[in-house]
Amino acid sequence: MFQQGLSGLNAAAKSLDVIGNNIANASTVGFKGSQAQFADLYANSLNGVSGNNAGIGVSVSRLAQQFTQGNIETTNNPLDISINGGGFFRTVTQSGAVQYSRNGQFQLDKDGTVINAQGQKLTGYLSTEDGVILQGAAAPIVIDSSDLVPVATTKANLELNLDSRSLVPERVPFDALDPLTYNKQTVLDVFDSLGNPHVLSTYYVKTNANTWDVYAGSDGVEIVAAGVAAVVNTDPAVAQARADYQTAVATLDPAQIALANTAYSAVAGNAMVTALSAIPGVTQAQIDDLTAKFTAPTDVGAIVGTNPDEINRALAAAISAPPTKVGTLIFDQQGAINTTAMAELEAATGIPNSLPFTISLPIFPATGGVEPLVIQANFTGTTQYGIATSEKASTQDGYSSGTLERFAAGADGVITGQYSNGKSRPLAQIVLANFTNVDGLTPLGGNAWAESAASGVPQIGAPNTGSLGQLRSSSVESSNVDLTAELVNMITAQRVYQANAQTIKTQDSVLQTLVNLR
C-alpha cells in the first residue's frame, strides 16, 4: 500500500516541477507552458484486471506543452517580430542544424545576418537586386545594406486637364521664355543614368478647338538663363554700355552705332561668361560657345535688344537647345484623347504623332550621365474639360541612388528596406514552418524545438498563408503562462503532495499496530 502514496508523491512532485518551470518562464518571450498529465496504474492478473483491485498508484503519462497564442507586446526594435497564429520561425545553428522557435527577438550580426540571442540564423526567401523575392529553398537572411543603384527615367505619364475654354495664344511662334506664347507649363523631376535629378519642362499650346501642341525642353535653361540675366542686368558696366548703344542708335550714325555695338557686345558677353562660369556643371564648350556669340563683331543689339529681358533668349540659345515640339494632342468632343484623329494626323503629315511621345532631353548642366535622356511620355488620364487647367498625378520611373535608412517586416514576412531617396524595395521574406502534430516537437531549450518522428515533417511557407500566422514587426509574443492559474495549480499540487504523504503516514500507523499485536 506504500506504493500508491509513493507514486502520488512522485507525481505531485513532478507536477510542482512543471508548475515551477512555467512560473519561472512567465516573462520568457515565446515560451509555451507545459502541463503534467497523469494516468492511474493497475496490477494485471492472469484473468485480467480484477474489479476488486484498488490500483497501485499513479504515473506521469506525459508533459504536454500548450501551444496556445501568447499576448502580443509592442517594442521599439524593428527586428522584434511576433507571430499571430500558427507556425514557428525557422532558424539554422552554426553547425547547420535546423531548429524552430516562437521567440522573435532578432538582431544583426557584423555581416548583416539576422540572428537570435543564441546566434542562430533566421531563414527565409532571398531577393534579387531588383527586389524580386525568389521563393526557392529557405536560406539565412542577410540584410543588403548596399546603396540603391540609380535608375534613369525611361517612361513618364503626364496627366493633366487642359481647359477647353482656353484661347489660342496671340503671340507666335512658341517661345519658352515668353509665357504669352503658350497656355500651360508643367515640370517633372526626372533622373539621368547616374541618378542626377533634372527637370523636364513641358509646354502646351492650344492651336484649335480640340488641338494642343506639346513642347518639351531640357532642365535648367530657363532657370540658369534667368539667373545669369539677373546678374548681367545689374552689372554697372553692362548698363553703361547699353545706354551708350541706345544713344548711338538715336544718332542714326552707322559708325557710332557700330562702335557702340562692339563695345556693348564685349561688355555684355564678358559679364555673361563670368556669371555662367560660376555655375557648377557648365562645360567649357558651352562657355566657349557663349563667348563666340558675344565677343565677335556681331549686331549684339539684334541679339540682346534694348530690353534687358532679351538676354534670357540669348542665353537660352547659347547654352542649350530650346524646347522642341514632340507631338500634338487631339481631343474628342467628350474631352478624351482621340487616338484615331492623332493617327490620321500622323498619316497626313508623315510626322510621328502616336502616344507615347518620344522626348529626347538634352542634359544641362553636364553631369557625366548618358545624354540625351530619352523618355517615352504618355498622357494617360489627360483630359480637356471646361474647367481650369490643372496638373494631376504625373509620374516617372527613374530615381536617384539611395542609402538604406531603415527596414521592417510586414504581415506577409517581407522585409522592406526604405532608402534615403524615398524609394523602398523588398530585401527578403521570412518563412514560417508548421507541423501536423506540434505536440510531438522535441524541446531543446533556448525557446527552440526540433522536428521529430512524432511531429511530422515541417510545412514551410510564407506567413499569412494556409495554417501559418501573420507577422508583426516591432513586437514580441509574450509567454502564454497564466500566472494566476499557475499559482492556484501550485496550491492544489501542494495539497495533493501533503495528502499522499498522509496516506503513507496512515499506512505506517496501521503496520505499527499490526506489529504491536501479541
Among residues 183, 143, 149, 148, which one has the least CA distance to residue 166?
A: 183
What's the confidence (pLDDT) of residue 257? 81
pLDDT-derived band at 323 (thresholds 50, 70, 90) equals: confident
DSSP state of 151: B
- For residue 317, pLDDT beyond 70: no
- For residue 91, pLDDT beyond 90: yes
* Mean pLDDT confidence for 258-271: 78
Phi, psi of 517 (to 5 degrees): -70, 130
Does domain 155-218+323-396 correspond to CATH entry 2.60.98.20?
yes
Q: What is the residue-averaged pLDDT of the chain? A: 84
What percent of the chain is modeled with pLDDT above 90? 46
* More confident position, 188 or 258: 188
What's the confidence (pLDDT) of residue 511? 79
* Mean pLDDT confidence for 88-95: 94
SS3 call for 170: coil
What's the confidence (pLDDT) of residue 266? 76
What's the confidence (pLDDT) of residue 276? 72
What's the confidence (pLDDT) of residue 178? 83
pLDDT, tens digit (0-9, with 9 covering 90-100), for 175-207: 887 889 999 999 999 999 999 888 899 999 999
- For residue 265, pLDDT beyond 90: no
What percent of the chain is modeled with pLDDT above 70? 86
Among residues 334, 289, 335, 336, which one has the least CA distance to residue 315?
A: 289
- Cell matching residue 419: 532608402
What's the confidence (pLDDT) of residue 20? 86
What's the confidence (pLDDT) of residue 376? 97
CB 245 within 8 A of CB 264: yes
What residue spans define the domains of the chain?
2-68+480-515, 72-148+403-477, 155-218+323-396, 223-319
What's the confidence (pLDDT) of residue 419? 93
- For residue 300, pLDDT beyond 60: no
pLDDT, tens digit (0-9, with 9 covering 90-100), for 420-462: 998 999 999 999 999 999 989 999 988 899 999 999 999 999 9
CB 177 within 8 A of CB 308: no
- For residue 87, pLDDT beyond 90: yes
What's the confidence (pLDDT) of residue 309? 56
Measured between its terminal Cα atoms, the distance across the chain in Å is: 23
What's the confidence (pLDDT) of residue 262? 77
Helix axis angle, 236-251 relative to 254-277, nearest 10°? 160
Give the type of residue at 356.
P
Among residues 333, 341, 325, which one has the least CA distance to residue 383?
A: 333
CB 171 within 8 A of CB 181: yes
**Torsional sign, CA 335, 340, 341, 346:** positive
What's the confidence (pLDDT) of residue 214? 97
pLDDT, tens digit (0-9, with 9 covering 90-100), for 108-158: 999 999 999 999 999 999 998 888 899 888 999 999 888 898 999 999 999
CB 92 within 8 A of CB 98: yes
* Mean pLDDT confidence for 63-84: 89
